[in-house]
Amino acid sequence: MTDLFVVPLLQIVVVLNAVLVAVTYMVLLERKIIAWVQSRLGPMRVGPHGILQPIADALKLLLKEDITPIRADRWIFTLAPIISLVPALIAFAVIPFGGEATLFGHRVPLYIANVNVGLLYIVSITSIGVYGIILAGYSSNSKYPLLASLRASAQLISYEVAVTLMLVSVIVTTRTLSLVGIVEGQMRQHIWYVFIQPVAAVVLFIGGLAETNRTPFDLAEAEQELTGGFHTEYSGMRFAMFFLAEYANMIVVSAVMTTLFFGGWLSPFPNVAAAHFLWYIPGWIWFLLKTFVLLYVFIWIRATLPRYRYDQLMRLGWKVLIPVALVNLVVSAIVRVFL
Amino acid sequence: MALFDTDELVLNMGPQHPSTHGVLRVVLRLDGERVVGSDVVIGYLHRGIEKLCEHRDYLQIVLLTDRMDYVSAATSNLGYCETVEKLMQIEVPPRARYIRTILAELQRIASHNLWLGTHAMDIGAMTVFLYNFRERELVLDLFEDYCGARLTYNAVRIGGLPLDIPAGWDQKVRAYCDLFESKIPEYEELLTHNRIWKERTQKIGVISAEDAIALGLSGPLLRGSGVPRDVRKDEPYAAYADFDFDVPIGTLGDTYDRYLVRVEEFRQSLRIIRQAIDGLPEGPILGKVPRLIKPPAGETYHAIESPKGEIGFFIASDGKSITPYRFRVRPPSFCNLQALPRLIKGHLVADVVALIGSIDIVVGEVDR
Amino acid sequence: MLDAIAFYTLAALILAFAIAVITARNPVHSVVFLVINFLAVAIVYIVLGAEFLAMIQVLVYAGGIVVLYLFVVMLVNLKRGPEAHQDPRRQTGAGVGLAVAVLAELTAILAYTGRNPLPAVVPAASARGPGGNTEQLGWLLYTTYLIPFEVASMLLLVAMIGAIVLARKVD
């Protein structure tokens, strides 16, 4: 009974809360890193070096007036932020933060579920998130959000094709859809899959940027063009939910990239005897470290690059990434069969 | 696509919009995201400065010129004072002319800093914005040292200058020039060879040399189209005749060319400032100016090169009163803004913000 | 027992949302109900042990196709609803005929399976190898059902090319 209900329930509570806290601190981290890039200090007022800033932000957003435009489609207007946030959060269900740990005599896996279609689960769940953006744009009954949501939906669908194709070629290498299985496979094969599938890693990262609406693909919320994009009409906590969803998605993408290509919770060189001292650091720390590095790259890119234009983005998606993904898939399949 | 009726979407960009650089309103008619037509609505910042000037005496008008192009106030001051000097035939001592040139060029750098920052921000390059503001701050510090103000300087007097430069100021300017020269590559590194930046700006808003002249464009817009027109070179004022500098021009007349022209102008401005500091003559800073400024009856027009283009002042005096009979400004922002509907037609919404930025307007000057 | 409760609850939900899809006045609401409907169907698949199918259901239908529906619904001017009912090209007769044909077909299939019951569905558990039923599904698609599979993909390709030809601007 304990193992069937209590442990998973506890896991869910821990993961959800950890993710939400991580997300709020991601915002602080992003502000800090971008500030340093731009030779500023970033938030400094709330707590030492602004360490309590996320709490102040959350309080502010909670206390703000929650405005629904008079001609908005009330029902959907309320639903949209929820649709945005929920898939981003439940995607964490299959992400393996580590192997197994022993806690109070129980062997507790550091993942909520090890389903054998884990990778597909992530892809399909995150594909639901796009509804949040489209419906937000539609229900606001306002032109800027509408334009933004059209941009976003076209963008997400296009990049999903490339990303999914790329994942197929990764699956050809991993031979399993289970995320835990993929990490264990990297242990067995003595290599991070990034070295087997470098093209896939790059394309997936670009696709990840596009799917999370991050610079240089942040057209859907291009502040300078569409005054905030699909969440122009949102305020208070509903706005915060979109915000949380975006950062949660960033973490999902980074975590999936870590699992697929960078050995998940494995310490570097797990098979080399000389590097065994690295085992003393628990797996989940390695996992978080790798994820953090990828998140840093996300932020770094945001601080560096200008924004693509809508048509250029579509051209990149359809004329570059999808053909590359197709070729990569064919090559992976040939290599898999004949070598 | 006659199968469906495709209504045009009318999108009201501004007057409250992050990228219209003030209170400009652009009414766009869109087909999807493509602009099929547009109306530029101005006047949200109209304060009647020209009319006000007709009720102020000549010294007070300098203050009002500060408030037109508020990001390059010193240039407007200079343009106005030179016009009155021309009307009254006042000789300005060389030291004053040199310092005026330094001020004008510092102002050009500050204005271009602001332009580059906001333009890059419009296209999504956030960091360039803050880098530019970092360096603009230094110029503002120099102005503060000189006249105590940071935005509206009132830095020029009819017949010369109100103040001589404070001790050590020339050294500070020199240090600033060296520092700023090392910062220009930082901007260029982030933009000039950046593929996304190039894709966003190249072949966007192309305007040919003939069209640019026909539309009455001036400044970097005109030079970006390949017309080497620069009032500083063609009709030298202040002390520009004494200095050696190049007028950068573009080839195609697109947003990227205009960007390159302005970045090169940073360097040329530094060149001018250095020459002016090195050759700064001694002497008085104020020419022979009557106690009461009352120009003889007549009218005159005088134009100088502001960071945004040719800023011209027309003053008519009836010879009797201490206020101008008629006061009129040719504001470069206003004249250049006329090109906007033409530039954005056929482009996408994202290009509209890039092109508004590319024109470099200050609504305070457009509306006056 | 638990399975049965889950199934009937889901079935009721699916039917309720299906009815909501066709009765909703606002087409966007309709689409939202459709998505929920698809998600419920995906859960039914999971209950049946067909996780792969469930994920594909979510990915392709809920995440892909319905997004396109929504796209079209949002883009097309829907304020002129009533006109559609006066469409001169509306072929009520043919529609009714087709509906009757489908109904007859369904009845025939039901009657047939009633007389010759299918072999009991392979218990879900046995299909769950280490790779789940994904691998078996792949094997079946690329061996036993290769030809229907390829024909279906050809059909989609033709449809895609047709759409591109239709949408291309005539210069």
In this complex, is the C-beta atom of B1 within 8 Å of any C-beta atom belonging to chain C? yes
Range with lowest mean pLDDT among A67-71, A286-290, B141-145: A67-71
In this complex, is the C-beta atom of B122 within 8 Å of any C-beta atom belonging to chain A? yes
Rounded to whole angstroms, the Cα distance separating B254 from B260 reads 10
- Tell if the CB–CB gap between B7 and C169 is shorter than 8 Å: no
Nearest CA in chain A to C129: A116
Closest CA to A144 of B353, B21, B4, B343: B353
- Strands A106-109, B9-13: pairing is unpaired
Question: pLDDT at position B196, please?
Answer: 85
> CA triplet B366, B200, B210: central angle to 5 degrees?
55
Closest CA to A306 of B251, B347, B187, B250: B187
CA distances (Å), origin B126, targets A26, A146, A302, B129, B362 = 19, 25, 8, 5, 20
- Tell if the CB–CB gap between B1 and C169 is shorter than 8 Å: yes
- Tell if the CB–CB gap between C58 and A124 is shorter than 8 Å: yes
| Amino acid identity, position A230 | F
In this complex, is the C-beta atom of B203 within 8 Å of any C-beta atom belonging to chain A? no
DSSP single-letter state for residue B41: E
CA distances (Å), origin A119, targets A171, A257, B252, C55 = 9, 11, 49, 10
Nearest CA in chain A to B11: A143
Question: pLDDT at position A14, please?
Answer: 82
Can you read off the two tokens belonging to residue C8?
Answer: 């009937």
**How buried is residue B192: exposed, middle or buried, by Cβ count under 10 Å (0-12/13-18/19+)?**
middle
Question: pLDDT at position C151, please?
Answer: 92
- Tell if the CB–CB gap between B196 and A40 is shorter than 8 Å: no
In this complex, is the C-beta atom of B202 within 8 Å of any C-beta atom belonging to chain A? no
CA distances (Å), origin B64, targets A85, B61, B76, B133, B342 = 53, 5, 9, 25, 32
Edge-first strand order for the sheet with B326-330 is B298-306, B309-317, B326-330
Cis previous bond, B15, omega within 30 = yes
pLDDT tens sequence across A201-239: 888 888 888 888 777 877 766 666 676 677 777 888 888
CB contact set of A165 (below 8 Å; sequence gap of 6+): A322, A325, A326, A329
| Amino acid identity, position A74 | R
- Tell if the CB–CB gap between B1 and C76 is shorter than 8 Å: no
pLDDT over 80 at A45, yes or no: yes
Mean pLDDT by 10 residues, chain C (171 residues): 83 90 83 88 83 83 82 66 58 86 91 68 46 73 87 92 81 55
- Tell if the CB–CB gap between A306 and B120 is shorter than 8 Å: yes
Rounded to whole angstroms, the Cα distance separating B313 from B324 reads 12
Question: Any bridge partners for residue A108, and if so which?
Answer: A101
Rounded to whole angstroms, the Cα distance separating B57 from C40 reads 80
Nearest to B200 among A223, A303, A306 (CB): A306
Question: pLDDT at position A225, please?
Answer: 67
- Tell if the CB–CB gap between A306 and B196 is shorter than 8 Å: yes
Chain C nearest C-alpha distance from B18 (Å): 27
Q: B-contacting residues of A 29-68, CB under 8 Å?
A: 34, 37-40
- Tell if the CB–CB gap between B350 and A225 is shorter than 8 Å: yes
pLDDT tens sequence across B171-183: 888 899 888 888 8
The percent of residues above 90 in pLDDT, for chain A, comes to 0
- Tell if the CB–CB gap between C58 and A135 is shorter than 8 Å: no
Closest CA to B336 of B165, B211, B166: B211
Closest CA to B222 of B265, B257, B267: B257
Q: Tell me which H or E stretch contains B253.
A: none
**pTM above the 0.90 mark?**
no
**How buried is residue A133: exposed, middle or buried, by Cβ count under 10 Å (0-12/13-18/19+)?**
buried
Which backbone phi and psi does B298 adopt, to 5 degrees? 150, 180
- Is the interface score ipTM higher than 0.90? no
Q: Which residues of B208-245 are buried (b: 16+ CB within 10 A; e: fewer)?
A: ebeebeebebbbbbbbbbbbebbbbeeeebbbbebbeb
- Chain C residues with CB under 8 Å of A138 CB are 28, 70, 74
In this complex, is the C-beta atom of B292 within 8 Å of any C-beta atom belonging to chain C? no
Q: What is the mean pLDDT of residues A109-124?
A: 78
pLDDT tens sequence across B98-121: 888 998 999 999 999 999 888 888
- Strands B25-31, B9-13: pairing is antiparallel
- Chain A residues with CB under 8 Å of C138 CB are none
In this complex, is the C-beta atom of A312 within 8 Å of any C-beta atom belonging to chain B? yes
Question: pLDDT at position C128, please?
Answer: 46
Range with lowest mean pLDDT among A73-77, A180-184, C87-91: C87-91
- Would you give the distance in Å from CA B16 to the centre of its chain? 23
